[in-house]
Amino acid sequence: MKANGTGPGSISDDGSPVEFYLAMPAENEPGIIHGALGGSGSILELGSGAGRVTHPLLALGHTVTAVDASPDMLAHISGAETVCAPIGGLDLGRTFDAVVLASHLVNVPDPEERRGLLDTCRRHIGDGGQVLIEHNPASFFTAPTETVSRRGPLTIALRDISRPDHDTVSATMHYTIGDRHWTQSFTTRRFDPAELADAGLRHDRTLTDDGRWITARPA
């Protein structure tokens, strides 16, 4: 997903407002990841942000290495190793039980950037490891709709949708806490699990009914 953002306070390079993401709780992501591993393990979390998923994973007994390009995001993570770096080209020189690529990062429109993300995933799992990927399902591209959701004092709205082509959606997220407001405009492109093969991976399982979460293993 390619994005840019506006609003008060620190905003990461991908448009994510640090203050809002710090206030936003995890949803079902930790449970999905924990269930896929079948117990505690070592996790490389790519694009961790401010620890919304990191901290619940730690509480579930996992060892987490959190990677993000924003030092302002990583400053809010405690209890995990943090690495401030872009995902593409990352090489920590070791492998993990699982690599997590969530937040629809794999839907980045640029094919070379997407391949770089998947190469990083493959580089950091051994023969018995797995990659957990969250991507926008096919329904998002065939019939994208404006939505509004509320999570306590937080409001999240998806607006200004356009479809440059049948595989691509552009839109703007509107985030609100009280009288504070942020926008994050993004473009996302359909991901085909067949693309995993180019990075030496293969589709293993689909973890959710909507197809949003999948796992991949070494080919």
All domains in the chain, ordered by first residue = 21-137+191-218 (3.40.50.150)
pTM of the model: 0.95
153-156 own/partner pairs: CB under 8 Å, 24+ apart? 153/23, 153/177, 153/178, 154/20, 154/23, 154/24
Mean pLDDT of the chain: 96
Q: Which tens digit of pLDDT belongs to each residue from 23-77?
A: 999 999 999 999 999 999 999 999 999 999 999 999 999 999 999 999 999 999 9
**What are the pLDDT digits (tens) for 180-203?**
999 999 999 999 999 999 999 999
Rounded distance between C-alpha atoms, residue 77 and residue 58, angstroms: 11
d(CA 168, CA 155) in angstroms, rounded, equals 25
- Flag whether pLDDT at 2 surpasses 70: no
Cβ neighbours of residue 69 under 8 Å, at least 6 residues apart?
12, 13, 14, 84, 85, 86, 87
DSSP-assigned beta bridge partners for residue 67: 46, 83
Q: Is 46:67 a contact under the CB 8 Å cutoff?
A: yes
Tokens read off for 214: 């999948």
pLDDT at 1 over 80: no
